[in-house]
A and B are shown apart, each in its own frame.
Chain A
């Protein structure tokens, strides 16, 4: 942090998203139902503008805006990743929500949740963190129950109750921290008394673990993924994770002491193992993807474990989250495009639509971590960081888990190449998004060198 500033332009990417959401909502109020597509354009433009602003900000200096929001490399990377992933989701949603009486609301809720996610990543004050948590969560609850059917309502309720409960725990953690240290700004917190601070850290962790969908706060993930519509599932398993992990990393480096490392390591092991084991025999591809995102959250906890101990930890985390977001969004886009929930529903896709099948293979193998996709580079960095930080055993467990995960991804890939079984109508926009995401995933993997050069702590 090179300086303090109170310049609202430091928050330009966030303001652009906010402006997009507000403008979208207002326009949506006055436009007839059949022409609400224009709101998608407004929201998409806002996200694109926000990405541009974020990219520009990347070239600037690190600053601390309003003494509570850090604008640095991690925040900028999050801005790009969140806005990019949300843009993909908005395009996906535009096909799904068209003609719905609440079409506008979808885009606006996505934007607001994305905004909360970015703030989560940049927050440098516990109160800002809590506000961001709520902003990121509440629109997502509404999205989960959007369809108003039984599954969607159940999903939304479960999501909401879990989020509210863990959010309250987190607030208790904030209160405890404030009571101990008399402040909520990260930079002043480092010297709090250790015993009570341990308790506060655990309480703070509760909320973050909910957002990232890690054990033991993972129960909402499969239900929301299966119960709400695929587009919403793609959003809630992808975007909030980006910000939550970066926020967690920031907490881990700036606030937590050192004693939490083994705790987070154990959570990481439990998360990846449980996610993988539960995914093994899922016969619904959305539940399969849900458990896969849980296991991915486990890998993503590795750099958090070694935060501050290895120079590789931060680039590893930032790169992995972005890579994961694109790849996961791509896999969900295929689900949206095909509209089938059982792996058998994908039989013969390789003949019916070879490009889409290829995109799915790339995304799934990408989630496994096969080179040269982006997640491979992410995994490589994560393993290296864990080893470098003195947690080689954790890297070994992650490797074993990776191999186990191959099994269920292949269970989905196999039917693609079986003859017969023509899938239902394939949605063209979603297919393009899936193909784009797959291509991006490979490109990002190949260009990992150029990107990592930006993260230059080496």
Chain B
């Protein structure tokens, strides 16, 4: 399943494929991959399932070791869906389609591989390759000052990944293996520097304040589908890494640093929301709300390390964090695809130059409104479920002040997203409104399923939470060791 997209990418190398044929292969591969994930989900019954272990570098205790559990399966499913949405969205893409599709298929392999990896070295390989893939997406198909943004993206995240590698080497030297399952079973007595190294490495990718500066330019100048993947999937690699690697492998250090992590989370929440409020460029605005949303996750995971807190509350926080990862992927993916529609028609993201879009493009407006409400955490949508769990968990675990401050973050995001709707979609027409024509079927077909799933999670989250909660409980018990 991991390598299916890559095989499809190899298929694209065949000569004489027309543009439509390339896109059809891409969509078919993404759909098939999603179908496989659904089958896996249906057959999943607890613990680590579908485990595969091949030898790779036995002398370093590193191997091709993959498997899924309640932590990774939801993310893999979200990833597969989002990539399918991007494939459908790109149905009208005409510029160098073959390499574009191949790059996305490559990224899909890398992303799913990362979430399934149970070996630190394998995790790192996928982590690094995701940077390379996204760099070429931005350089090749972005707009604006794309070379500069891509370079900044590459340098920052690559620095992060190398610091992460140092942390992994530290874990390896302390534990004698790169195998995650082994390392989780017996947490190594690593030196005090290992968690900071891993933490900084993952924080750059997440990104949290103050290492988020690469994110807004990268998002703004990437193509719509690229931004959707970057925000929806690649950012999760950071938070997932915290939950998968940092917490269970270094429980003592995680508990020791818990308050620091909470503070970073709260600052990210507030700073992201406030800076987003000041943005005129819609895409930058959404990029900063990502900083805000990732802040909630970091906050929740930090609260899970508060040893004094009620374990039930901490489980709730972790479960909320995982739900938020899924939910943010769906919603932000949808939002970025929708801003791509704006760019496609008007070549601009400036809020001030639009207005009254609702009159000419009701479907587009409706989709954007739903996505915005989902993003601000309206009950009935997935963001609410996630954020409710996070806040209840965080406050229950003892970080009352942090929880209260972060709720202010929700207020600010609500205000700014409503302001977006108000300025761009309602009111008198702006100078660029005339160019806005209705969303095309392929665009609707890409965005609607994401929002629909968000709605489904929002109304009946049980099927998802049943999967996440045991994993969250296991994680909390691991971090309490």
List A residues at the B interface (Cβ < 8 Å).
315, 365, 368, 370-372, 376-377, 380-381, 383-384, 387-388, 392, 395-396, 399-400, 402-403, 406-407, 410, 414, 417, 448-449, 452-453, 455-456, 458
Contacts and interface: CB of A to CB of B under 8 A. Distances in A.
A370 B155 contact: no
Contacts of B154: 406, 410
22 contacts: A365-B132, A368-B158, A371-B124, A381-B60, A384-B60, A387-B166, A387-B169, A387-B173, A395-B169, A399-B163, A400-B159, A402-B162, A403-B155, A403-B158, A410-B135, A410-B151, A417-B136, A448-B56, A449-B60, A452-B60, A453-B59, A458-B59
Interface of B: 55-60, 62, 121, 124-125, 128-129, 132, 135-136, 139-140, 147, 151, 154-155, 158-159, 162-163, 165-166, 169-170, 172-173, 193
A387 B170 contact: yes
B114 to A, nearest CB: 12
Contact of B58 (A370, A399, A449): A449
B129 A371 contact: yes
A370 B162 CA distance: 10
Nearest to A384: B169
B126 to A, nearest CB: 8
A90 B401 CA distance: 70
Given A403-B162, A417-B139, A456 B155 contact: no
Contact of A380 (B56, B163, B165): B165
Given A399-B166, A449-B55, A452-B60, 4 more contacts: A315-B59, A410-B151, A449-B60, A456-B59
Nearest to A452: B59
A383 B197 CA distance: 14
A381 B56 CA distance: 14
Contact of A372 (B58, B125, B162, B173): B125
Contacts of A376: 125, 128
Contacts of A455: 59
Of B60, B121, B139, most buried by chain A (CB within 10 Å of CB) is B60
Contacts of B125: 371-372, 376
A126 to B, nearest CB: 33
A4 to B, nearest CB: 30
Q: Which 3 A/B pairs are nearest by Cβ-Cβ distance?
A: A449-B57, A371-B125, A403-B159
A77 to B, nearest CB: 15
Of A315, A365, A403, A448, most buried by chain B (CB within 10 Å of CB) is A403
Contacts of A381: 60
Contacts of A403: 155, 158-159, 162
Contacts of A458: 59
A396 B128 CA distance: 18
Contacts of B173: 384, 387-388
Nearest to A419: B96
A383 B169 CA distance: 8
A319 to B, nearest CB: 11
Contacts of B129: 370-372
Contacts of B56: 448-449
A452 B128 contact: no
A430 to B, nearest CB: 23
Nearest to A383: B169
A396 B58 CA distance: 25
A392 B170 CA distance: 9
Nearest to A312: B60
A399 B139 contact: no
B132 A370 contact: yes
Contacts of B158: 368, 403, 406
B132 A383 contact: no
A417 to B, nearest CB: 6
Nearest to A402: B162
Contacts of A410: 135, 151, 154
A407 B155 contact: yes
A410 to B, nearest CB: 6
Nearest to B156: A403
A377 B57 contact: yes
Contacts of B169: 380, 383-384, 387, 395
A396 B140 contact: no
A1 B227 CA distance: 59
Contacts of A453: 58-59
B57 A399 contact: no
A380 B121 contact: yes
A449 B125 CA distance: 15
Of A380, A414, A455, A456, most buried by chain B (CB within 10 Å of CB) is A380
B166 A371 contact: no
Contacts of B135: 410
A449 B178 CA distance: 13
A372 B126 CA distance: 9
Nearest to A411: B151
Contacts of A399: 159, 162-163, 165-166
Contacts of A407: 151, 155
Contacts of B165: 380, 383, 399
A455 B154 CA distance: 34
Contact of A452 (B57, B139, B140, B172): B57
Nearest to B172: A384
A315 B58 CA distance: 14
A381 B166 CA distance: 11
Contacts of B58: 449, 453
A371 B60 CA distance: 16
Contacts of B60: 381, 384, 449, 452
B139 A448 contact: no
Contacts of A448: 56-57
Given A387-B169, A399-B162, A414-B139, A371 B59 contact: no
Contacts of B159: 399-400, 403
A455 B60 CA distance: 12
Contacts of A400: 159
A380 B173 CA distance: 12
A416 to B, nearest CB: 10
Nearest to A388: B173
Contacts of B162: 399, 402-403
Contacts of B136: 417
Contact of A371 (B128, B140, B170, B172): B128
A414 B128 contact: no
A395 B155 contact: no
Contacts of B121: 380
